Structure 1
Amino acid sequence: MPETENDDSGVTIDDDTVLDVRVSQSVNIARAVILSIAWACTSSALIFLNNHLLREHGFSYPMILCSMGMTSSWLISFVCITTGRVNRKHAGLITRGWYARHILPIGCLGAASLGFGNYVYLYLSVSFIQMLKSAVPAVTMAVMYAAGLERLHGTTLTGVAVVTIGTFIAAYGEVKCSAIGVWMMLTSAFAEAIRMAFYQYVLGNLKFDLMEGLYVTAPASLAFLGLGIVTLELNQFVRERGWEIIAAAPHYFLVAAFMGFAVNILTLGVIKATSGLTYKVMGQAKNAAVILLAVMVFGNPVTTVQLIGYAMSLFGFFIYQRGKTQQDAEEAEKENYRLTEIDRTSAAPFDLIGMNHMYRVASSVRVMPYSYCGHLVHEVHVLQQGDRGCDEPWRRGEGATQL
């Protein structure tokens, strides 16, 4: 017979329950680790494959190349949905208005991030591109602060300043630094930062399954990529008979398309299985590994000045993350104090007077947490219970008042 014990609230907990919780936690951790390793390996391999196709293979059409991965992502998710392999849990939620507000921005930003991110390989080396990616925390903080979703914190600002200085030093040490390439990289980083905020909101709050998330978001990204292709690449592709390059080595492009799908699905999986912080830390570790491979295996030149700048950027990144941890802890403490005060002040009943009637109202507080852009936010609702015979909704206590 399993042993039982009572916790502080008087609830009985047996050994089987504890074991089930521990097993569930272990499974979740193992799943997160497997997804993270698979994402890091697949995305790194895709970086080198895209660089090979764009620069060495002569397929200088970055948006067409990344659209192959997005097309395969949508086709595979479409087959899984239509055949019943994956259930659409949020089919009733997706209206035209909701799609326009939530998914179209993700599609536009995803297309910009992918398109400009691929164009960079025509101007900069793989190693230097990964160094520039160390500036993503600075870009992310700027975007969040501009949107009113981020508060400035001393340690965080210090980390961002160190990252920025390190990135400038790395750029200064680049042998073949292209201003156009750096501009495209920064544009891609800004688009990615905003896209990740939307992803965190849509996936974290609404609990989309991985395949359903791709099924919903891929068409929007593909549509905006198509617009970019028609505007920037189609005439050149037709004039230079770019399809002949695809026909000469179709296996390269099939692998690139499938790996594009794999990176998309694994990215969504990592975000859901871990957190935005873990994803960013792993991204920096992956970038460092890609730089090492680019230098040792593919012979990308890296100067001492670049290494110093990149090391400074990594140091600034960890200062930034430490500041974020401190800031989140401080904000959580303030929020807990605020909620405690609300609970204390609302414990006593109060009177509402109006229309020559007096209603005795019992007030209660309900805290409703939800995730917005990776941050835990609380809605405090004051629920009022009044005279059921009154016609006015506010007198009956219907609805809730957000504080």
Structure 2
Amino acid sequence: MAEAEKKVRVSGEQARVEPAASSASILPTTEKPQPPKPSLHPAFYVVTWIGFSGGVILFNKWLLDTLGFKFPITLTAWHMMFATFMTQLLARTTTLLDGRKTVKMTGKVYLRAILPIGFFFSLSLICGNKAYLYLSVAFIQMLKACMPVAVLLTTWAMGVAPPSLKTLGNVSFIVVGVVIASYGSIEFNLTGFLYQAGGITFEATRLVLVQRLLSSAEYKMDPLVSLYYFAPVCAVMNGLTALVVEVPGMSMKNVYDVGIFTLVANAMVAFLLNVSVVFLIGKTSSLVLTLCGILKDILLVAASMMIWGTPVTNLQFFGYSIALGGMLYYRLGAEQLKGYLQQAGRSWSEFGVQRPAMRKALVFGLVLVTIFLLLGGLAPTYAPAQTKNLKDIFSTGLGS
């Protein structure tokens, strides 16, 4: 009995849970969630990167060769000074360079890593631009296909990775293709070839040094943040080199003949290339990057043929095709490449079922472009007078 009374008293002392004051507080809200902001299609970033990447090369060739501004070291120094100013401006006004806040940059790291990388970056820029004075854009792009091989050999030489005969065999197709393309070149120039070979070697060394620096998570940098650190170093190094080598032979007439606006536009295109790379990497995959690079090289060869009437032989086409195929095989691997080809075949078949007219139009357009490129490549050989007239008309239209 006492126990029962105790339970009654305890239960009476417990606080009662008051019901909710208003049922509105527990009802779901009728406010619709905000729709996600529309984003640009990845194809936009692909086209933008290809445009700026190819635009820089064609712009530099036109400036250094066609317009006669034969001061490539000064031009690279100007690019780096402009990039230094723009990265400092973006760091203070936008969030594009916020990635630098996660980089543990110290004076020791700057001296031991940034300076050497900037040094080889400067040398690669100087040699690469000097090659435009002697070689065509088409031949330069064919030689650049050797870049994976140079990076691989440099990686082995610096002890970053152990040598592998299997890997060496995979890249042998690239070497064979570039050798065939070089052997078939009509406009081969040894000085230009050596400059381009030096540029490829220095660029490969820079890439391996960057790879070793970025092996730690605390030094991960996107291309724009890398430019933020490397541009000042390259600007100083290239500027000092230009003061000794080129500036004594320059005059303001050389600058005015080209035009200050042209030089500013040239530097802006080079800088926007680095900005477009950041967005391309963030919006696409490694496969897209590889395919975009190969597509860009092919388009540059075609542009060189159309703009400057560069003669490209069938042997060069054959060798360059082998080099591009070897590059694709090396970067993707046999199994991965096979999977992508099967997926692409299925997608192409589905596209043909869904839009047969569009598929036929694409095939017809591809055939026309192929015929046009072949005729353009043979024109300098079989119709040199007409090709020269067309080239003169095009040059006059550009204002050269």
Question: Fold match, TM over 0.5?
Answer: yes
Shift of 1:310: 0.9
Which position in structure 1 is the counterpart of 2:363? none
Aligned mates of 1:111, 1:196 — CA distance in 2: 13
The answer for the alignment partner of 2:248 in structure 1 is 235
- The equivalent residue for 1:11 is none
Give per-residue Cα distances to partners, 1:215-253, cap 9 Å, x unaligned.
22210121221232133212222xxx2x22322322211
1:254 aligned residue (247, 260, 264): 264
Partners in 1 of 2:105 and 2:66 — Cα distance? 43
What amino acid is aligned across from residue 146 of structure 1 in structure 2?
A
Give the aligned CA root-mean-square deviation in angstroms: 3.0
- Gap regions ≥5 residues in structure 2: 1-35, 337-400
Seen in structure 2, the aligned counterparts of structure 1 residues 88 and 168 have a Cα distance that, compared at 3 Å, is closer
SS of the residue 1:296 aligns to = helix
Paired position in structure 2 for 1:302:
312
Matches within 5 A, 1:42-121: 42-83=52-93, 86-87=97-98, 89-90=100-101, 93-121=104-132
1:103 to partner: Cα distance: 1.1
1:276 and 1:179, CA in 2 relative to 1: closer, same or farther beyond 3 A?
farther
Written as runs of structure 1 = structure 2, the 5 A alignment for 1:147-186 is: 147-186=158-197
**Residues 140-289 of structure 1: matches in 2 within 5 Å?**
140-200=151-211, 205=217, 206-208=219-221, 211-237=224-250, 241=251, 243-248=252-257, 249-270=259-280, 279-289=289-299
Provide Cα deviations, 1:49-84, integer angstroms capped at 9, x if missing partner: 111111111100001112222222111111222457
**What is the CA distance between 1:272 and its match in structure 2?**
6.1
Identity of aligned residues (%): 28
Tell me the SS of whatever aligns to 1:37: helix
Tell me the distance in 1 between the aligned counterparts of 2:177 and 2:224: 38
- The letter for the 2-side match of 1:244 is K
Is 1:135–2:146 an aligned residue pair? yes
Deviations 1:317-361 (A, max 9, x none): 2332244978xxxxxxxxxxxxxxxxxxxxxxxxxxxxxxxxxxx
Equivalent residue letter for 1:81: A
Q: TM-score, normalised by structure 2?
A: 0.66
What is the alpha-carbon distance in structure 2 between the residues aligned to residue 77 and residue 40 of structure 1? Answer: 22
Shift of 1:268: 4.8
Structure 1: runs of 5+ lacking an equivalent: 1-22, 327-403
Paired with 2:305 and 2:110, the residues of 1 have a C-alpha distance of 43
| CA apart distance, 1:269 | 4.8
Distance in 2 between residues matched to 1:92 and 1:301, nearest whole Å: 47
CA contact (8 A) 1:158 1:316 kept: no
TM-fit CA distance, 1:161: 1.5
- Return the alpha-carbon distance in structure 1 between the equivalents of residues 179 and 208 of structure 2: 26
2:322 aligned to which of 312, 317, 336: 312
Q: Is the 8 A contact 1:138 1:163 kept in 2?
A: yes
Q: Deviations over 1:147-179 (max 9, x none)?
A: 222344455322322211211111111112111
Instruction: Give distance in 2, aligned partners of 1:197 and 1:269.
Output: 23
User: Secondary structure of the residue that 1:177 maps to in structure 2?
Assistant: coil
The verdict on how the C-alpha distance between 1:324 and 1:112 changes in structure 2, with shifts beyond 3 A counting, is: farther
- Cα pair distance change 1:186/1:81, threshold 3 Å: same
TM-score by structure 1 length? 0.66
Q: What CA distance in whole angstroms lies between the structure 2 residues aligned with 1:291 and 1:105?
A: 33
Cα distance between partner residues in 1 of 2:164 and 2:103: 41
CA–CA separation in structure 1 for the residues paired with 2:199 and 2:100: 32
Alignment of 1:314-333 (within 5 A): 314-323=324-333
Structure 1: 4+ residue segments shifted above 6 A: none
- Is structure 2 residue 291 aligned with structure 1 residue 291? no
Shift of residue 257 of structure 1?
Answer: 0.9
Matched residue type, 1:78: Q
Structure number with higher strand proportion: 1
Q: CA deviation at 1:271?
A: 5.2
Verify the 8 A CA contact 1:70 1:260 in the aligned structure 2. no
What SS does the corresponding residue of 1:90 show, helix, strand or coil?
helix
